[in-house]
Amino acid sequence: MGDFGGSLKGVETLDLAGRIGRACIRRSGLKPEAFDHMVFATTVPSGRDTLFASRVVGARAGLPEEAGALDVVRACGSGLQAIVSAGQQIRDGQSRIALAGGAENYSRVPHVVTDMRWGRKRGPVEMEDMLDWAYRCPFSQDYMGETAENLAEEFQYTREDMDDWGAMSQERAIAAIDSGFLARQIEPVEVPAGRRGAVADFSVDEYPRRDATPEKLATLRPAFRKNGKVTVGNASGVTDGAGFLVVANRQALESQGAAPEARVIDYAVVGVPPRIMGHGPVPAIGKLLDRQKMTVDDIDYFEINEAFAVVNLHAERHLGIPREKHNLYGGGISLGHPPGLTGIRMTMTAMHHLADTGGRYAVLSMCLGAGQGMAMLIENLKR
């Protein structure tokens, strides 16, 4: 993932997605013609072709022309929804092997003029930032960070605890980079570098900060309220990127000579008050576990999106999630949060963690703008 305005700003969104989709197919060992569907998530159009994103990305990734294509959007859970929607089609017999993924390039999101279709008689024309639309609650028009402030205020989470989480996220992400854990998920891509058509290989997430400490984070100004607790150090970063997973019927996969790594058991989506959207993972995970007659103790690993540190603190407190099995490789605060990609990245991380440790179950969860929570349960098949 690239920082906002960083290494990926010169790469068109669907071109990046097509490259990474093609790499996913190559790494899977499957032939492109084995795929019958593309399910793709992106939340904010960043160019002309993103209105037809799934079809364009499918073609660029090498899927056959007769393969279907589906675009999905579920706010911050869009990447997870791509997996769910691919699975639903497979369960219903509409697909056998799908490529599910998502991408964002917020660095390329345009500004727009909304009142020029029928002309302006006089006066200045105002341009609006489509990215600004994505970060505001549609009900209150407050920034999403205000909803995190509401959650921190209502449930009495401290700035110190939020900064401690932010510093820990950075530390864990740096450790995951240095150990090579995250490198397993990354396909190097060529990006523009300098003048005269020069290019460079981009292969390391560039948002993590090696110098982040609780003491340094404590010096940052509140980002949304004069005396608030949410800062750029304990909130998710704006980053660009793309990612994909193969979602398939097990028999179809094995008939192609490939072995499944994990399976989706169940998922849950709930609504919560938009003013405290960060509460979403608590009831979503609760509903999922209740339906499966499981408890937190049955789960080996949790990936909960770090939209804001208070979201993770809230989930730990209300669900009793031990920190030693929660976001061990960084998260939205350290790696960034491109909504179309986040659920894919979290699922890959959980799959690799379970495979490395021999664990069986993982839960992926996030809050969603406008007031929702989403959670998915997966099982490791490589034990």
**Which residues are identified as catalytic?**
76, 337, 367
Let me know: does 260 contact 381? Beta carbons within 8 Å: yes
Amino acid symbol at 177:
I
Neighbour-count burial for 261-291, b at 16+ CB within 10 Å, e otherwise: bbebeebbbbebebbbbbbbbbbbbbbbbee
Q: What Cα–Cα distance (Å) separates residue 246 from each residue in 84, 99, 103?
A: 12, 5, 15
Question: Strand 68-72 and strand 372-380: pairing?
Answer: unpaired
**DSSP class of residue 251?**
H
The encoded tokens of residue 241 equal 């990127």
Let me know: does 6 contact 37? Beta carbons within 8 Å: no
Angstrom distance (rounded) from CA 328 to CA 312: 12
Q: How large is the angle between the packed helices 309-319 and 159-179, nearest 10 degrees?
A: 100
**DSSP class of residue 20?**
H
Left if phi > 0, otherwise alpha if psi is -120 to 50, otherwise beta: which for 230? beta
User: For the chain, what's the residue count?
Assistant: 383
Angstrom distance (rounded) from CA 287 to CA 270: 8
